[in-house]
Amino acid sequence: MKALMLGYGNVGKALNSLIRERSPKLGLDIKVEGVVTRRGIMLNQREDFHPDKEGTVLEALDLINPDLVIDVSSANYEDGEPSLSLYLESLSRGINVVTANKAPLALNFSRIMAVAEKNGAKVGFQATVMSGTPSINLLRAMRAAEVRKIRGILNGTTNYILTRMNEGLDYLSALKEAQRRGYAETDPEHDVNGFDAAAKLTILANFALKKPVTLKDVEFSGIKDVTQDKVKEAARKGKKIKLIANAGEGSLRVMTSEISPEDPLYHVDGVTNALDVHTDVQEVVIIGPGAGPLNAAFGVFSDIVLMYKGTF
């Protein structure tokens, strides 16, 4: 099985190692034949990618003619490119796609899935929500139930900051600590303003609730207005402030809420993520890490294994 990978940063390198080490043990014969980065196309020669060759992702698609396209590139929320064009062209040729990139799906979920269905191709996107912790794939296994509502803590950066504020730090001190520990980007705006969680909620709403929505349909706000006074006031009532993503009952929202100890999300602290799924049969809660290169790589690899073992 030949694969073409878009992006080759920390996630891409971790994923390639997983593919090399674990595919044979699982009875899969997969080889990443080439990767496309901003520098151009790099071809796999003796398990090493070289030399650089000028070209676009669509030119790489023609050059390699892969069975599988993997996207571990950075998100572009302006228009989803170049990933979106790569997905649409690959799927139109019947080539499966597995991605960790939220942007194309948050912007064009319905369009991408329509092209996939028309051409008998598959799209794996577990790594876009909670990374390697099986959120999407949990929902995939719950198809017999009707999902009515989803709530979640979907951003580890903001959850860590709020956790540390609950322990006494002010917002700026907690943010700086998160940056020092690698839990927050140098520019954390997409995290702290709720945008990242909104993108994930858009994907969940499309997949689990069958709502044909995009990012523009989500009402979101972040945590920058949370003060120590607000945290202490919530604590006096026995509650915590959390950034909660909520889909169901006709609304899509990401905003801070005061939640009580009986709420399953109350004890989800640090960089941990959680998903609380309400169906017509039961309520299911999944808790686990939602970030990190190896975790993201594991999410992508899990999709590949499920897809090619026929259980996707």
Cα end-to-end span (Å), the chain:
17
Q: What is the pTM of this model?
A: 0.95
For 20-35, write each residue's pLDDT tens digit.
999 999 999 999 999 9
Point out the residues that are catalytic: 200
User: pLDDT of 162-185, one tens digit each?
Assistant: 999 999 999 999 999 999 999 999
Mean pLDDT of the chain: 94
User: Is pLDDT above 70 for 7?
Assistant: yes
Q: Indicate the pLDDT class of residue 56, thresholds 50, 70 and 90.
A: confident
Q: Is 9 annotated as a binding residue?
A: yes
Amino acid occupying residue 261? P
- List domains and CATH numbers for the chain: 2-132+293-308 (3.40.50.720), 144-289 (3.30.360.10)
| 102 assigned to a ligand binding site | yes
- The pLDDT of residue 155: 96
**Residue 228: predicted pLDDT:** 96
pLDDT band at 45 (very low <50, low <70, confident <90, very high): low
Return the closest-CA partner of residue 57 out of 77, 78, 39: 39
11 annotated among ligand-binding-site residues: yes
Asked if residue 133 has pLDDT above 90, the reply is yes
Task: Assess whether pLDDT exceeds 80 at residue 246.
Answer: yes
Can you tell me the mean pLDDT for 90-117? Answer: 98
Q: What is the pLDDT averaged over residues 58-82?
A: 95
Say whether pLDDT at 311 is over 90. Answer: no
Q: Provide the 3-class DSSP secondary structure of residue 275.
A: strand
pLDDT of residue 95: 98
Averaged pLDDT for residues 141-157:
95
The answer to whether the annotation marks 8 as part of a ligand binding site is: yes
Q: Distances in Å between the alpha carbon of 156 and those of 4, 102, 169, 202?
A: 30, 16, 17, 17
- Across-strand partners of 220? 254
Mean pLDDT of the region 255-273: 97
Residues contacting 43, CB < 8 A, separation 6+: 33, 34, 49, 50, 51, 53, 64
Flag whether 7 is marked binding. Answer: yes
Asked, as a colleague might, if the bond just before 82 is cis with ω within 30 of 0, I would say yes
pLDDT value of residue 53: 74
